Amino acid sequence: MVDVYLYDTTLRDGSQSEGISFSVEDKLKIAARLDEFGMHYIEGGWPGSNPKDVAFFERAKKIQFKRAKLAAFGSTMKKGGKPEDDANLQALVDAGTPVVTLVGKSWDLHALKVLETTLEENLAMISKSVAYMKACGKEVVYDAEHFFDGYKANPEYAVKTLRAAADAGADVLVLCETNGGALPWEVQEIVETVKEQFSTAIGIHTHDDAGCGVANSLAAIRAGAVHVQGTVNGIGERVGNANLCTIIPDLQLKMKKVCISADNLFSLTDLSYFVSEIANLPHNRQLPYVGSSAFAHKGGIHVAAVLKVESSYQHVDPALVGNNRRTVISELSGRGNILDKSREYGLDVSSDQARDVLNQIKELESQGFTFEGAEASVSMLIQRMSPNYRPPFELIDFMVVIENRQGRGLFSEAMVKMRIGDKILHTAAEGNGPVSALDAALRKALLDVYPYLADVRLDDYKVRILNSEKGSDATVRVLIDTKNTTHSWSTVGASTNIIEASWLALIDSLEYALLHEARKRAAEKELAKEN
> Which carries the bigger pLDDT value, residue 461 or residue 256?
256
With a cut of 70, say whether residue 300 has pLDDT above it: no
Residue 427 has phi, psi (to 5 degrees) of -130, 160
Measured at the CA of 358, the angle between CA 357 and CA 359, to 5 degrees, comes to: 90
Q: Is residue 269 domain-resident?
A: no
With a cut of 80, say whether residue 42 has pLDDT above it: yes
The pLDDT confidence band at residue 88, using thresholds 50, 70 and 90, is very high
Q: Are residues 37 and 69 in the same domain?
A: yes
Last residue of a domain, one of 433, 449, 465: 449
With a cut of 80, say whether residue 295 has pLDDT above it: no
Q: 202, 224 in Cβ contact below 8 A? A: yes
Residue 167 is part of a domain; what is its CATH number? 3.20.20.70
At 305 the pLDDT is 66
Mean pLDDT within 377-391: 80
Last residue of a domain, one of 449, 479, 496: 449
At 297 the pLDDT is 66
Q: Is residue 333 domain-resident?
A: yes
At 327 the pLDDT is 62
With a cut of 80, say whether residue 19 has pLDDT above it: yes
Q: Are residues 335 and 406 in the same domain?
A: no
Q: Are residues 100 and 143 in the same domain?
A: yes
The pLDDT confidence band at residue 1, using thresholds 50, 70 and 90, is confident
At 336 the pLDDT is 65
Residue 408 is part of a domain; what is its CATH number? 3.30.160
How far is the C-alpha of 486 from the C-alpha of 520, rounded, in Å?
A: 11
Q: Are residues 206 and 128 in the same domain?
A: yes
Distances (CA, A) of 353 to 184, 318, 340, 362: 51, 29, 13, 14
Q: Are residues 345 and 409 in the same domain?
A: no
Distances (CA, A) of 230 to 391, 514, 527: 50, 44, 45
The pLDDT confidence band at residue 354, using thresholds 50, 70 and 90, is confident
pTM of the model: 0.73
240: left (phi over 0), alpha (psi -120 to 50) or beta: left
With a cut of 80, say whether residue 408 has pLDDT above it: no
* DSSP SS3 for 416: strand
Partners of 479 in beta bridges: 462, 492
Distances (CA, A) of 35 to 29, 41, 524: 10, 8, 35
Q: Is residue 16 domain-resident?
A: yes
How far is the C-alpha of 234 from the C-alpha of 143, rounded, in Å?
A: 19
Label residues 86-95 b or e (16+ Cβ within 10 Å = b): bebbbbbbeb
Residue 369's domain comprises 296-384
Rg of the chain over Cα atoms, rounded to whole angstroms, equals 29
How far is the C-alpha of 423 from the C-alpha of 401, rounded, in Å?
A: 25
Q: Are residues 226 and 253 in the same domain?
A: yes
Q: Is residue 497 domain-resident?
A: no
> What is the average pLDDT value for the chain, to the nearest integer?
88
Partners of 29 in beta bridges: none
Q: 87, 129 in Cβ contact below 8 A? A: no
How far is the C-alpha of 228 from the C-alpha of 202, rounded, in Å?
A: 9
Q: Is residue 284 domain-resident?
A: no
How far is the C-alpha of 248 from the C-alpha of 252, rounded, in Å?
A: 6
At 41 the pLDDT is 98
Q: Are residues 99 and 217 in the same domain?
A: yes
Q: Are residues 192 and 332 in the same domain?
A: no
Q: Are residues 215 and 302 in the same domain?
A: no
Q: Are residues 301 and 442 in the same domain?
A: no
At 183 the pLDDT is 98
Q: 458, 443 in Cβ contact below 8 A? A: no
The pLDDT confidence band at residue 316, using thresholds 50, 70 and 90, is very high
Q: Is residue 306 domain-resident?
A: yes
pLDDT digits over 96-138, tens only? 999 999 999 999 999 999 989 999 999 999 999 999 999 999 9
Helix (H) or strand (E) holding 353: helix 351-366
The identity of residue 308, as a single letter, is K
How far is the C-alpha of 34 from the C-alpha of 22, rounded, in Å?
A: 15
Q: Are residues 41 and 149 in the same domain?
A: yes
Q: For residue 381, which of 414, 344, 342 has the smallest C-alpha distance?
A: 342
Q: Are residues 149 and 170 in the same domain?
A: yes
- Give the total number of structural domains in the chain: 3
User: Beta 488-495 vs 476-483: how paired, if at all?
Assistant: antiparallel
pLDDT digits over 183-224, tens only? 999 999 999 999 999 999 999 999 999 999 999 999 999 999
Q: Is residue 150 domain-resident?
A: yes
With a cut of 80, say whether residue 64 has pLDDT above it: yes
| Residue 389 burial (CB count, 10 A) | 12
With a cut of 80, say whether residue 25 has pLDDT above it: yes
Q: Is residue 514 domain-resident?
A: no
